[in-house]
Structure 1
Amino acid sequence: MMEIKFWGVRGSIASPGPETAAVGGNTSCVEVRCGSSRIILDAGTGVRKLGDALLREGPVEATVLLSHLHWDHIQGLPFFVPAYLPSSRLSIVGSAHGVGSLREVLSTQMAAPSFPVRMDELCAQIAVREARPGEAFDVGEVHVRIAKLNHPGGVLAYRVEHEGRSVVYATDTEHYACVDPALRALADGADVLIYDAQYTPEEYRGDGGRSKVGWGHSTYVAGAEIARACGARKLVLFHHDPQRTDAGVAEIERLSRELFPGSVAAREGLCIHVEALARAA
């Protein structure tokens, strides 16, 4: 079975407070359980609580798939307790997109004076490997495919498949005038599409303020369009703007459901049982 759980759903910067408590204020982190395999999509601040939860089950073995290396997607790694334990086995997959190596960039955020513990002092068994667009590989019984999307500095999208079920993680991507052909191909027939919906169309255009065109993020309207085009069962609106209140997220969810009924806004703690979703279709 495949189960998806959301541990961090915000973009750009963590945003705790009473006006964001229902949706959650942690940055990007999604757990995908496929049988005995554990896949972690991004390691924003939400990965801290995920690490604590995994440790309650015993020794941790997991693969972390990083979309890119902006801080809101990696800043939880130094606080991921399993990385400090010799019993843990972690594989970190991603790309530095031509700026040094993946290991070098991850080590930099833990270098003095920014952090007191160096990455090479972590006690877990940690394997770091570079990923390339178009690549496919297996993690146990899980098959992973990668595509490059549209974001300043580069970003990777992942398709995770297990026993005929699939989830596509496409955050920090900006839509084009047409449906992105790379994402459409990656998400074709996916059970769940997790998609960047940081802005409303009005915010993206800059109605009454500064345009967000070129900032590397998208809208629920573009998400509904790609979900229809690829035949996804469920669209999960993700990477909420840090200033978006709980009520604001609920309104985006409502509007998205008018365009694609299978829409839901990501909230911390949301669990999606993909097999049950498929049976209900």
Structure 2
Amino acid sequence: MADEFSLRCWGVRGSTPTPGSSTLRYGGETSCFEIRAGDALVLVDCGSGARNLGMELCKCKPRSFDLLFTHTHLDHICGLPFFKPAYDPNFEVTAWAGHFQDETSLVDIVSRIMSPPIFPVAAKTLKAVEFKTFTAGGQIPRDDDLVIRTTPLSHPGGACGFRFEYQGKSICIITDHEHGDPEIDAALPDFVQGADIMIYDAMFTDEEYPAFKGWGHSTWQKAVQLAREGHVKTPVLFHHDPKRSDDELDEIGLAAQNAYSGTLVASEGMILRP
């Protein structure tokens, strides 16, 4: 559909997949998003949730799309070796990463995880994938009406946030990110300003955070604060702590709703439209 603009969550958990009875409602797969903007398809992150997304894409006619990585920690790339379209040369997948703080490239990282004895299939078998590197803070080049802006985030080894703009609507993805870097924190309210939807790293609560300072993650209270500063319509709490049960996420969701009306807790399968 020419006017379609949506985000679907295929994985919302942080750090490691968490299958089990206590995570059935919100889901246990790690980071993976599907963005639709008219005829355009963009994926963000290839965590364990990407396996199911890949099988779904293979039910349709092969096509070209972009795959953007917020960063390359294992929970955000572990689904790539199991992502079926990546092996099918009838697809065209352009994979991007912009968080590197040295001369490392995306293909370097993928080649490290997809090599014996770590993994039996080498990265060169990803026939559909072209790897590209950029520097966070600019714009991803495109030839359609979807605009993709980027910004650096505060995370060990670096991370990149994304803002998608289409037909006057906007969706921001701010994960993995730890508040506390003055320069980055000062830039974020402008980056998310007026966004219809903002995915935000809310792995911890303010009460838990002091024990995990430096781990590279934020709190739901900071999500609410940024939403208020940036006049975000719908903040969405994301990157759930792997030890967090569905019932505990219910409690956090209620507290966040009371603090900022309209706040949602991300769940696997959730589809959001601005």
Structure 2 vs 1, CA of residues 254 and 137 (structure 1 numbering), >3 Å: closer, same or farther?
same
Aligned to 2:69: 66
RMSD: 1.4
Instruction: Please say if residues 149 and 182 of structure 1, whose CA atoms lie closer than 8 Å, have aligned partners that are also in contact.
Output: no
**Cα distance in 1 between the residues matched to 2:68 and 2:136:** 13
| Distance apart, 1:138 and its partner CA | 3.6
Separation in structure 1 between the aligned mates of residue 101 and residue 51 of structure 2, nearest angstrom: 25
CA drift of 1:273 comes to 1.7
Structure 1 segments, 4+ long, off by >2 Å, are 137-141, 176-179
- Aligned match of 1:33 in 25, 32, 36? 36
**For residue 271 of structure 1, what is the aligned residue in structure 2?**
271
> Shift of residue 58 of structure 1?
1.5
* Aligned length, in residue pairs: 268
Aligned equivalent of 2:214: 214
Residue 188 (structure 1) aligns with: 193
TM-score by length of 2: 0.94
1:227 matched residue in structure 2: 227
Deviation at 1:99?
A: 5.5
Deviations 1:28-47 (A, max 9, x none): 00111001111111110001
Identity, in percent, stands at: 38
Residue 62 of structure 1: how far off its partner (Å): 1.6
Identify the range of structure 1 (171-180 vs 94-103) with the bigger mean alpha-carbon deviation: 171-180
Q: Does 1:123 align with 2:121?
A: no
Please give the alpha-carbon distance, in whole angstroms, between the structure 2 residues aligned to 1:218 and 1:250.
18
The TM-score, its normalising length taken from structure 1, stands at 0.92
Q: Contact (CA 8 Å) 1:28, 1:239: kept in 2 or not?
A: yes
Q: 1:141 aligns with which of 126, 145, 166?
A: 145
Task: Name the stretch that deviates more: 56-65 or 234-243.
Answer: 56-65
Identify the residue that residue 14 of structure 2 maps to in structure 1.
11
SS of 2:9's equivalent in the other structure is strand
In 2, Cα distance between equivalents of 1:97 and 1:127: 21
Partner of 1:258: 258
AA of the residue aligned to 2:27: G
Pairs within 5 Å for 1:29-178? 29-95=32-98, 96-98=100-102, 100-124=104-128, 126-139=129-142, 140-176=144-180
SS of structure 2 residue aligned to 1:156: strand
SS at match of 1:202: coil
Unaligned 5+ residue runs, structure 1? 206-210, 275-281
Give the conservation status (yes or no) of the 8 Å contact 1:148–1:182. no
C-alpha separation in 2, matches of 1:69 and 1:264: 26
The answer to whether the 8 A contact 2:140-2:150 is kept is no
Match of 1:199 among 196, 201, 204: 204
The amino acid that maps onto 2:273 is: H
Structure 2 alignment gaps of length 5 or more? none
